[in-house]
Amino acid sequence: MGKIIYYTSIIIILSLFVFILNSGDIAKKPWNREDDFEFYAESLHKNLKSENWIEAKKDLISLKKAWKKTVKRIQYSVEKDEINAINVNLARLTGYIENKDKSAGLAEIHEIQEHWHNLNN
């Protein structure tokens, strides 16, 4: 009886670890409007295209907040390099928006969206 409990508990623990390490696609889905990374990225993309800099700054702030919430959920299931790449892209994007550089900002938001879609792939 003791061996059955021992092996069952080991199987349950290992299964839990496998689930956590493969849960990136599930974990990156938004739980509410505040952590909807894709929504804010798309909204920022539209505002950059139309050169609406005030709304773009607001969207960037919301995008960064959404990223901070999402990264806590996905940090164990995606590669650290992908997380770092999005962090660097957000830092560059901040500079481009502050300088009102439309073309560089659009390139950066496209790269962010590409990294986002490639998380856990």
In this predicted model, what pLDDT tens digit does every residue of 25-44 receive, in sequence order?
A: 777 788 888 889 999 999 99
pTM confidence score: 0.81
With a cut of 50, which residues of the chain have pLDDT below it? none
> Distances from the Cα of 66 to the Cαs of 17, 19, 69, 77, 91, in angstroms?
25, 23, 5, 18, 15
Q: Is 31 exposed, middle or buried (0-12, 13-18, 19+ CB in 10 A)?
A: exposed
